[in-house]
Amino acid sequence: MNEKVLMSAFYINELLVRLLPRGEPEPALFTIYYDTLKKLAVEKDYLVPLRYFERDFLKVLGYALPSGPFPAKHYRFVRGDFVANDGTAFEGSGISGVTLEALSSNTLQSGTQEWEARMLMRDLIRYYLEDAPLNTRRILNELNKL
């Protein structure tokens, strides 16, 4: 198992500790967690299962993504809500309607779709953490400097 997969597992655990209410059992989440760890251990592309975990974890917490359909070309998460744009893409982070559909239907592709989903999940998680930084990112940056 490589270091990026291990850091992904660390990241998942940090999300659980930081966002789950203490002392409240979440049996559905255990299955999502277990299945994700198994996928991280065996799949070559670990990033797509990580996006599905983030999506499913937020849903268990009551912060589900819109269910679609997604007719607009582009969307952005702004202050707790999705904003659609049928014109040109947003500058900076944003997600296409096609990628949102793929994320919600478990057909997310590696590459651009996964990257758009990652940026969306980063925005969503940052919002629900009230902009408190995650330790995983800091640790990964420090490891990359070695």
- The 81-85 sheet, strands edge to edge: 81-85, 74-78, 95-96
Kindly report the CATH number assigned to the domain that includes residue 87: 1.20.1440.120
Q: What is the pLDDT of residue 39?
A: 92
Highest mean pLDDT among 11-20, 73-82, 128-137: 11-20
Domain range enclosing 105: 3-145
Q: What is the pLDDT of residue 92?
A: 53
Q: What is the pLDDT of residue 123?
A: 86
Residue 26's pLDDT band, with cuts at 50, 70 and 90, is confident
Q: What is the pLDDT of residue 89?
A: 52
**For the packed helices 97-104 and 47-60, what is the interaxial angle rounded to 10 degrees?**
80
pLDDT digits (tens, 9 = 90+) for 88-121: 555 556 788 899 999 999 999 999 999 999 988 9
Q: What is the pLDDT of residue 135?
A: 85
Q: What is the pLDDT of residue 15?
A: 93
| Placement of tokens 């659980």 in the chain | 16
For the chain, the three-class secondary structure string (H helix, E strand, C coil) is CCHHHHHHHHHHHHHHHHHCCCCCCCHHHHHHHHHHHHHHHHCCCCHHHHHHHHHHHHHHCCCCCCCCCCCCCEEEEECCEEEEECCCCCCCCCEEHHHHHHHHCCCCCCCHHHHHHHHHHHHHHHHHCCCCCCHHHHHHHHHHHC
pLDDT digits (tens, 9 = 90+) for 36-92: 999 998 878 899 999 999 999 999 988 888 877 888 788 877 777 767 665 555 555
pTM (2 d.p.)? 0.86
Please count the structural domains in the chain. 1
